[in-house]
Structure 1
Amino acid sequence: MCTRKIIQIIESKSAMNLNMPPTAGPTLQDTKAQQNAQLRQVAKDLEASFLAEMLKGAGFGKARESMGGGAGEEHFGSFMVDAHAKSLVQRGGIGLAETIFEALKEKQNEHLKTE
């Protein structure tokens, strides 16, 4: 292929790229979906924290008197309680996360209206 032909192809490709509209950034729907996902995650984290405290209050994760796991069980019991609480939330929890999510979303919408 001759050099002139190559230059014509490159110029035609460049001209085609100039005529294309610039790629748009994230749309409003994408941004809103990301915000909702973040709010939902915060709500789930809060429900998990609440459930962990309730499980601790019920004595879940405490070392047993007979045949206990020793000092390690006592120290790492809180990790087990947190893991159980997160697992409960992943399986649907007690419905607290959805209530918190709706309240946070409503509060966010009110904040956006006042701006």
Structure 2
Amino acid sequence: MSALATTPSYDPSLAAPRAPTMIATTREKAAKTAKAFETQFVSQMYQHMFDGIETDGLFGGGTGEKMFRSVLIDEYAKMTTSRPGGSGFGIAPEIEKMLLKHQEVQ
């Protein structure tokens, strides 16, 4: 008999955490993937929008702006898709439904 079995405070149900069900894991992955797709889509949309904007003057332009403009646009997209209330841009829920439908998860 093991020492753990004879210890009065040992509870076998607490020994190992249970793995989440496959459906819950699949839904979480689908939601995360849909949100990432939505963010990438908005980022690409903003990229095309910002391509037409030229900057000049004392604080605009230069190689620094060329290097970091895409990072700024990605952050704008993240902020747009993660608005308070979880509403996002509106594409993620439909993408999630399509992903789950293609995986045949109800």
Return the TM-score normalized by structure 1. 0.66
4+ aligned runs moved over 3 Å, structure 1? 20-25, 60-63
Q: Which has the larger radius of gyration?
A: 1
1:72 to 23, 45, 64: 64
CA apart distance, 1:65: 2.2
1:1-115 pair list within 5 angstroms: 13=6, 25-26=18-19, 28=21, 31-59=22-50, 64-67=55-58, 68-91=60-83, 92-109=87-104
Return the TM-score normalized by structure 2. 0.71
Deviations 1:22-57 (A, max 9, x none): 9684253xx322221111111111111110111111
Please, which runs of 5 or more residues in structure 1 have no aligned partner? 1-9, 111-115
Aligned length: 97
CA apart distance, 1:88: 1.0
> Which structure shows the higher helix fraction?
1
Could you say which structure has the greater relative contact order, defined with CA pairs below 8 angstroms and 6 or more residues apart?
Answer: 2
Please, which runs of 5 or more residues in structure 2 have no aligned partner? none
